[in-house]
Amino acid sequence: MKKHLLCALAYYGASACVSTSSADTSAQEASSWREALGADISDEWSAPIHRQFDFWIGEGEANWRAKPQGEFYHQKEGSWTRGRVFPILGGKALIELAWARDNPEEASQRGFSIRYFDPARERWVMAQNWPGPGGNGSGFMDQLIGKEYHGRLSMYSIVRRPDGEGEFNIQHRRYNFTDIRPGVGFRWDGSNTADEGATWSTWYVVDFHALRALDPYGPAGTPFPGVHGQNLCTEEPHGAFNNLQGVWQGETADASGAVSPATFSAGLALDGCGVMGVMDANDIKTFVAVGYNATGGKWMFYTLDDQPGTTHEYYVSDEAGEGAVFRHAPDLAIKDEFTAYNLQAYFEAEGALRRIVWEKFTETEIRLKVETRSAPDTAWRLEKTYRLIKQ
Four-way CATH pick for 3-39+218-390: 1.10.3720.10, 3.40.50.300, 3.40.710.10, 2.40.128.20: 2.40.128.20
pLDDT digits (tens, 9 = 90+) for 134-161: 777 889 999 999 999 999 999 999 987 7
Q: How far, CA to CA in Å, does 163 sit from each of 167, 168, 169, 197, 201?
A: 6, 6, 7, 19, 15
Residue 105: per-residue pLDDT: 85
Stated pTM of the model: 0.90
For residue 235, which amino acid is it? Answer: E
Q: Is the pLDDT of residue 279 over 90?
A: yes
pLDDT digits (tens, 9 = 90+) for 80-115: 999 999 999 999 999 999 999 999 888 788 999 999
For the chain, the straight-line distance linking the first and the last C-alpha, in angstroms and rounded, comes to: 31
Residue 27: per-residue pLDDT: 38
Q: Is the pLDDT of residue 226 over 80?
A: yes
Residues of the chain with CATH 2.40.128.20: 3-39+218-390, 45-212
Arithmetic mean of pLDDT, 344-351? 91
pLDDT tier for residue 29 given thresholds of 50, 70 and 90? low
Four-way CATH pick for 45-212: 2.40.128.20, 3.40.228.10, 3.30.470.10, 3.40.50.300: 2.40.128.20
Q: Is 184 left (phi over 0), alpha (psi -120 to 50) or beta?
A: alpha
Distance from chain centroid for Cα 56? 17
CB 62 within 8 A of CB 81: yes
CB 12 within 8 A of CB 279: yes
Arithmetic mean of pLDDT, 169-178? 94
Tell me which residue of 9, 75, 70, 84 sits closest to 39, measured CA to CA.
84
Q: Which residues neighbour 76 within 8 Å (Cβ) at sequence distance 6 or greater?
A: 65
Arithmetic mean of pLDDT, 148-176? 87
Across 103-112, 288-297, 366-375, the highest mean pLDDT is recorded for 366-375
Count of residues for the chain? 391
pLDDT tier for residue 30 given thresholds of 50, 70 and 90? low
Arithmetic mean of pLDDT, 266-285? 95
* Paired strand residues for 273: none
Q: Is the pLDDT of residue 9 over 70?
A: no
